[in-house]
Every structure is written in C-alpha cells, then in structure tokens.
Amino acid sequence: MGAAEWYLTADERGNPATRLDRRHPGGRAWTEGNLVTPLVHGATYFAALTDHVAAMLAGDLLLFVDWRGDPDERLSGEPGSEVGALFADAARRGVDVRGLVWRSHWDRLAFSAAENRHLGEDIDAAGGECYLDMRVRLGGSHHQKFVVLRHPGRPERDIAFLGGIDLCHSRRDDAGHAGDPQPQPMAEVYGPRPPWHDVQLAVTGPAVGDVETVFRERWEDPQALSRSPLRWAVDTVRGDRPARRPLPPQLPDPVPTGPHPVQLLRTYGHRLGGYPFAPRGERSVARAYAKAFARARRLIYLEDQYLWSPQVCAVLEAALLRAPDLRVVAVLPHQPDQDGAVSRAPNLVSRARLLRQLEAAAPGRVAAYGIENPQGTPVYVHAKVCVVDDTWATVGSDNFNRRSWTHDSELSAAVVHESFARDLRQRLAREHLDAEQAPALEDHFEAYADSARALAAWDRAPASAPRPPRPCGRLRPLDSPDQTRLTRLWADPLYRLVYDPDGRPLGLRLRRTV
C-alpha cells in the first residue's frame, strides 16, 4: 500500500503559505529515502544527541526548538554533559548555534520561564543565539521539540531529532523506569524521582531539510518575539532584544539514506496578525489523524499524555463505527502530573468522558491502560505515538487533545512503512509486557488485556496471605477516580476554556471541522 494513499496532499495540508511542500519535486507533500530510528526513552535520545553534537566542527549548524530547556540537565548523567554546556561548547568551537525556546509562563504556575531564559544566556555568552519566543495565541505555547544538525562538506552526518522529549529535567529515564536523578516536581503518586516514558525519532535523509525548513520559517518570521510592553521593557533592561542574525543559506537536502517516506505534520494556531508561513494557522496534525483513522481496519494503538476533547472523540468514534473489527488501545498516565485541585479534576473529568463515549460506541473494542515500573510506581506517559494497522505511524510533540490539534505549535513525523510501524508497536509492547516476543497485530488487544488483568489480580491479593511472585508485565487498567457531580460542574468549563482551548478560525469552528 503506497504512501500516497495515507499521506496528506499539499492541498489537504490546508496551508499554501508554507514552503514546506513547495520545496519538494512536483509539490509532493513528503520525502522519500529516509532512515527513521525510534529512540525510546530520554536516556537513549540524550546519548545520541550528545555524541552527534560533540562531533560537530567549526562551520557546522545546530538549530533547536524546545518547550522547556533546563541548562543543567545532564544528558549522560556525568558532570560536564549538561545541555547548556554541550551547546555552549559547540558554539565556542565555531558551530553556528541557533535556538528558539518558548518564553513560558511564570515558574510559580509550574512552568519554566526562568529555566528557559538561563539556557539562552549560556548559549548567547558562548557566541550562539537563543531567543525566548512568545509568538503564540493567548494562553498558548510553542510545544515543538526538535534539533537539526547540518555539516557543510560532511552531509553524511546530517541528522534531525524530533518527538516528545524536551531538553530538561525528568526526561533522562530508561527502560528500568527508575526516573531521572534530576527530577521535576510532580504529583505525589509518582514519587520523588518520577518514572518517565517518552519517545523521540532520529531522522537522516532528505527529510532533514524539511525539519530545517520548519525552523527557518519560525526564525525568519519578522514579528516581535512578544507583544507584551512589560516584556519589552524587561528585555531591554536585560539586553535581551538584539536583532536576529540571518541564517546561512540552506544546504541541499541530504541524499537518501533508507527506505522510509516521511511526512512532517504541524499545528499552528490562528493568531492575530498571523504567521507569514501560516496566516490562518495550520492543522495538518489533526487532518492527518482523520485521514489515517478513516483507513484503519484492525488496530489503532496510541501512547499519549492526554486523551481529551470532543474533536478527538469524534474522529475515533467515526473510525470505530466505520470498521466493525477495529480496536483502539491507549496507554496513558494513570494520574495527571500535578496534584492541585484546580489542575487534577479537569484532566480526569475530560478523559473519563471521552473513554465512556468511545466504549458506548464500540463496546469491548476500546481499552485504556497505565504503566508502572517493576517497583509498582506509576510511570508518567509523556510519549506521543500512534500506530495504525502496522502501516502508518507518527511520533511527535502533539497530544490527543484540541489544544495540540488547533492551538499550540506542534511538529510530528508520519512514516508509512509496514516494518517501521510494526517494529515500533512491537518494541513498545515488549517493554510494557516484560516479554521477549511481542504480540502480532491481531493478538495485541488481548495480550494487553490479559497482562493488565494478571497484574490487577496480583495487586488485589490479600495482604494476610503469602503473595505469589509478581506477574510479568507493567500494564494496569487505567486509574479513573470517580468525580462528584459538583466537581464535574466546575471542572468541565475550566477544561474547555483553559486546558483545551480552540485555536481554529471562527469559520472552521462554526463548521465543526479542522
């Protein structure tokens, strides 16, 4: 089955202002001939990133975009491997280092304004350029997380990393899920060193040029990095408002390196004044899911931080009703990342409503699980992965909610390749099942259900009786604490207005389409 049947066309992307598709021969909206490698866990990604950046030479180009960056996060765990030091050392060697990091909200709201600013300071002091970018809709964020490395004269080393992993605390975990020694404070259920599950992609081949183009469109946007007069004043006092230097001319795309076709998918909200490269926003993430789910016949497998919103529910429900043999398996966090009364309830209320609606539409064909580490501590699922029928797979920064599909900036890569999609699903299944062999596509739904039932039964064993050995597998039925009617009354509007806002133009909202 060809990539063209699954991928969006340039017209279906719905954003003629971008040069992302115009740069391809014949206006094709994807590249052929790439090699895409899943990097499961932050420790795996950080090790690969460290090796590649350490090998960069004077005249090379390092571009990065992030939602949160902690300059003191040790990428290898050793002193001297801090992300700020790694990028600053590259700049001192003559590497052209450029970064755009979301400006963020106040730290007192559990965000990362100070950390993001300090990462930029380290890089700027070494001769690079890193800016705090607040060119988003009100209440929105730049949620993309990617790095591009280009090497003039050494194109065989060109590579891009993209996915869900930020360059910050709590992300450097591995398959043992003991958590990052440099943790970020989270809900009490995750313990003092929260276990963290995440996925990034390493991409070589022509698609590297596409990822670079995403960066260049944002860097070359002439609009001010913030519209706030207060921020302008503070930045002026700090000396944080220098003009961005033009980027060097873009190199030719790298030559083919593998068998994988890659399509980049994005979200940009419809913002007052617009983006030059997306004046009415872009919603190709949502459109790609809708197209892929319309082709789904056997299994939609997803791992995500969130599963919210009527729009997401409608797309999944339509797929389940269209294909009577289709099943959906979701791996999600057991609990939200914060304990606060105002933050916790909207998460749980919105997720529970969506799962109830899907189960009502397709009884016995929808299942949601959380995971825990071998010590029984819940693992926070931050991955953003979807595999459809072992054919179409996507990894990126976007979550399954309206915010990610319409409002914030997001970047994902879709790969239509049977062995890639199957291997990704099975790689994740082997970890969650604690098994050397992963289930076939037709057995996946039952394998997860059997494993979760076994662990749940073991958890319920009487404390007074000798406990049998812990069964293999890390899956448990998803924690879904009941919410009172009063809680639902206030949590639901807060969810819709604050946690999951709508970034579509008014006309699309009225037509209920993306």
Model confidence band, residue 107 (pLDDT cutoffs 50, 70, 90):
very low
CATH 3.30.870.10 occupies which residues in the chain? 32-244, 283-511
Model confidence band, residue 108 (pLDDT cutoffs 50, 70, 90):
very low
Tokens in use for 154?
């050494």
| Cα–Cα distance for residue pair 58/400, rounded to 1 Å | 41
Using a pLDDT cut of 90, give the percent of the chain over it. 79
pTM recorded for the entire structure: 0.95
Tokens in use for 503?
């970034």
Model confidence band, residue 109 (pLDDT cutoffs 50, 70, 90):
very low
Domain 32-244: CATH superfamily, name plus number: Endonuclease Chain A (3.30.870.10)
Handedness of CA 274, 292, 502, 412 (dihedral sign): negative
Q: Could you give the dihedral angle defined by the CA atoms of residues 72, 77, 83 and 88, in that order, rounded to the nearest 10 degrees?
A: 100
Q: Looking at the predicted structure, is the pLDDT value of residue 405 above 60?
A: yes
> In the chain, how long is the greatest CA-to-CA distance?
71
Other Cβ atoms within 10 Å of 511 Cβ, number: 10
**Comparing C-alpha atoms, which of 333, 378, 372, 336 is closest to residue 191?**
378
State how beta strands 385-388 and 282-283 pair. Answer: unpaired
Model confidence band, residue 184 (pLDDT cutoffs 50, 70, 90):
very high
| DSSP codes, 454-477 | HHHHHHTS-TTSPPPPPPS--EEE
Does the structural domain 283-511 have CATH classification 3.40.50.300?
A: no
Q: What is the pLDDT of residues 458-496, one digit of tens each?
A: 988 887 777 778 889 999 999 877 778 888 888 888 888
Q: Looking at the predicted structure, is the pLDDT value of residue 113 above 80?
A: no
Chain centroid to Cα 274, Å, comes to 23
**What is the model's pLDDT at position 52?**
98
With 0-12 CB in 10 A as exposed, 13-18 as middle and 19+ as buried, what is 325? Answer: exposed
Over range 42-50, report the average pLDDT.
98
| Cα–Cα distance for residue pair 31/485, rounded to 1 Å | 50
Name the DSSP letter for residue 328: E
Over range 62-78, report the average pLDDT.
95
Model confidence band, residue 240 (pLDDT cutoffs 50, 70, 90):
low
| Cα–Cα distance for residue pair 194/198, rounded to 1 Å | 13
H helix or E strand, kind and range, residue 54: helix 42-54
Question: At a CB cut-off of 8 Å and minimum separation 6, what does 57 contact?
Answer: 93, 94, 95, 151, 154
